[in-house]
Every structure is written in C-alpha cells, then in structure tokens.
Homo-oligomer: A and B are copies of this chain.
Amino acid sequence: MSRVYNFSAGPAVLPEEVLKEAAEEMLDYRGCGMSVMEMSHRSKMFSDILESAEADLRDLMGIPDNYKVLFLQGGGSLQFAMVPLNLMPHGAADYIVTGQWAKKAFKEAQKFGDVKAIASSEDKTFSYIPDCSDLPVRENADYVYICENNTIYGTKYKKLPNTKGKILVADQSSCFLSEPVDVEKYGMIWGGVQKNVGPAGLVVAIIREDLIPKEELPGVPTMLQYKTQADAGSLYNTPNCYGIYICGKVFQWLKKQGGLSAMKERNEKKAAVLYDYLDQSKLFKGTVVKEDRSLMNVPFVTGDKDLDAEFVKAAKEAGFENLKGHRTVGGMRASIYNAMPKEGIQALVEFMTDFEKKHL
C-alpha cells in the first residue's frame, strides 16, 4: 500500500490514523460483534458514539451550552434553504457574496424572502474579501450571511464583518476546525464535514438555541426544520451514523494534536511553505490578494492554460493528486486541510521548483 498526497478540495484527505482505526473496527466495533454500519442508531453503543462526538466537538470549539449541535444530512446545498426557512422570522436577510457557494446560498435564500447581497467580490473573480467594516446592513435583516472560507477562490475572512448588531450566520465548511473560533460571535455556524473532518454526507450545525423556531413552521418539510433534530438530539430519523463515527474519530485526533490553537499554528506554517514559494516563483503565482489568503485552499496559475494542464498531469504522475483547479475556474489549487502533512506540501514545493526550472 502506498498513499498519495491528496490535495482534493473535498471530499479530502483524512488522518491515516483515523482510517486505520476504522479499518480495524470495521467488522467488530470494540468487541460488540458488529460494524458501526450495522448498529441500531438507538442502541447504547451508537448513543455513546454520538454523545462522545458532540462532547469532543464542544470541547474543541468551546461551544457554549446555549448552542445546539446538530448532525444533519443533505450537504451544504440543503443548508442554503434551511437557513432562510428557519432563521428569517421577519422575512429578510443580507448576504455577502465572496464566491460560488455564497452566491448559491444567496440565490436559494431569495426563494424564501427579501434577501439582498450587501457586498460582493465578483468584480475581481472573488479574489478578495470585501471591506466589511461598514456595510449597508438593513434594519429589518434577520441575519447577515457569509461563507467564511471560499474553497474555490482561496480566500478567507481574517476579520468577521461588522453586522451592526444583526446575527451572523457562517458557512465554515472549508475552514471548519482549522483554527479556534469564538462561537458566541455567531448565531449559527455550519460546515459540510467532507472538506476538513470526515466523509461526505454530513453537516454539523451549531445554532444558538433561541434562534431555533419554538413552534413548527407551517408548510415547511419536517426534516427542514432545525427544531425537529434539535428536539430529538439529531435522532429524529436515522442519521448518517458512519459519518458521525468517523467525525468523532477526527475530533479525537484533533484533541491529540493539541486542539484548534495548535492546528492553527500548524496550518499557518504549512500554508507558509507554499505561499512563500509562490511569492518568489517566476513561473507560478497565487491568485488571491495576500491579506485574504486562505490557510486551507491555495489556488495558483502559470498564466498559460496549456502549461497548467501539463503541470497537473506531471504532478499526478509524481503522486500529487487533485491539483486541478475547480472546473469553473481552471488553473491549479492545492487544498491543504488539517490532515495534509507538512511533508506533503514540502514535497509539492520541491516538485514545483523542479518543474519551474524545466519550464522557464
């Protein structure tokens, strides 16, 4: 068995240690004689898995008691509808559009109320985060929505927007658990786990309790109401049990790494290896303004499409997988999530250096 360096934007690399444990436990989870996939979601064994996962996540992120943690299905695309359906009691919300996912969220929300884009960086292909210190947040807006790390474009909010007292809702999918977060600054944080935490098919939603509608929302599907899973501890129906189990293992792994402060430090060092190289390269260049660079997703180009394609092909042959940029953007992108070892990035930079020598 030989593992490649996998720079996929998601689903993405997971800690090898977690995968090894999962493989070992596949037929017999801790002596219970069955796989986690085979367990009743209402069994004591699975309850323990679910409760430990939630407790470890609360511990890692410092989630206050007045926030609910929900494990949901349907991916981010379903959250794009659930957020406005649940958190817009006055029927209005303001969106900051910093990439394709923020835009999709914005468009979906427009189906359900008076939803406005109060800032956008689309004018420069989403290569920066707009100044959010004094935005025209509307008086009647129920929340301000951001996508905190933009996977496709490689930008990240280094400072949260001034929401002028309104609730902040953040899609943290691609920076989830990559650094400490002050949860109390948000009304809701959600993340699709398939980028930085676990297998696709699971969203973790962290919602301030008082924002969850107290009554059933008429005409809204039961499964699209946060109340449904909040009241049932994520067990209204059968959840993605195996996904929760793997995420729980990753939460444990993160604690062993020293928690989110240690991860931030490590992620900064890892990203610096690549950004420092890009900043001095004569062939490759990063596409994002320096102050808004993501620690998780690093897009870069040569400026020549054919050469980009040649690079991606050569890199793949050398064991660097999934470096092709998003189909809507082109170029290259290295996603360097928590589980990508520094050695992987160092090896990539060596490979890029060699490639540069040959092609300048």
Residue positions of A touching B, CB distance < 8 A? 1-4, 6, 8-14, 16, 19-20, 22-24, 26-28, 32-35, 37-43, 73-78, 80-82, 85, 108, 111-112, 192, 194, 198-202, 218-219, 221-224, 236-243, 246, 319, 321-322, 327
In whole Å, how far is A25's beta carbon from the nearest beta carbon of chain B? 9
State the CA gap A23–B236 with chains docked (Å). Answer: 29
Q: A2 touches which one: B28, B39, B111, B319 (CB < 8 A)?
A: B28
How far apart sit A194 and B243, CA to CA, in the bound complex (Å)?
Answer: 13
Interface of A is mostly: loop
Q: Which residue of B lies closest to A73 (CB)?
A: B73
User: Nearest CB to that of A10 among chain B residues?
Assistant: B238
The 5 closest A-B pairs by CB, nearest first: A201-B240, A4-B33, A81-B221, A23-B26, A37-B199
Complexed CA–CA distance, A219 and B219 (Å) = 11
Q: Assuming A39-B8, A73-B75, A75-B237, is B201 touching A243 (CB within 8 A)? A: yes
Known contacts A38-B14, A223-B81, A202 near B200 by CB under 8 Å: no
Known contacts A4-B33, A73-B74, A199-B240; 7 additional CB pairs below 8 A are: A10-B40, A11-B238, A16-B27, A19-B26, A43-B322, A112-B219, A240-B243
Contact B26 A13 (CB under 8 A): no
**Residues of B with C-beta under 8 A to A14:** 35, 37-38
